[in-house]
Amino acid sequence: MRNRIEEAKQAVRNIPDFPIEGIQFKDLTTLMKSPQHLTTVSDALYEMYKEKGITKVVGIESRGFIFGAILAARLGAGFVPIRKPGKLPAEVISKTYDKEYGTDTIEIHRDAITNDDVVLIHDDLLATGGTILAALELVQSMKPRDVMINFVCGLSDLHGRDMLPKEIEVTTVFDF
Ligand code: AMP
Could you give the residue ranges of the DSSP H alpha helices within 50-129? 64-75
Distance 127 CA to ligand 1 centre (A): 5
Tell me, using a 6 A CB cutoff, whether residue 129 lines ligand 1.
yes
pLDDT of residue 98: 80
Could you give the domains of the chain?
A: 52-175 (3.40.50.2020)
What Rg value do the Cα atoms of the chain yield, rounded?
16
The pTM for the full model equals 0.96
Predicted pLDDT at 101: 64
Tens-binned pLDDT, residue by residue, of the chain (176 aa): 899 999 999 999 999 999 999 999 999 999 999 999 999 999 999 999 999 999 999 999 999 999 999 999 999 999 999 999 999 999 999 999 987 667 899 999 999 999 999 999 999 999 989 999 999 999 999 999 999 999 999 999 999 999 999 999 999 999 99
The pLDDT score that the predictor gives to residue 95 is 97
Please identify every residue annotated as catalytic: 63, 100
Long-range contacts of 59-63 (CB under 8 A, 24+ apart): 59/122, 59/123, 60/106, 60/121, 60/122, 60/123, 60/131, 60/132, 60/135, 61/87, 61/106, 63/28, 63/123, 63/124, 63/125
Helix (H, G, I), strand (E, B) or coil at 20: coil
- Which mutation among 9, 60, 99, 170 tests ligand 1's pocket best, with the greatest number of atoms within 8 A of CB? 99
Determine the distance separating the centroid of ligand 1 and the alpha carbon of 116, expressed in angstroms.
30
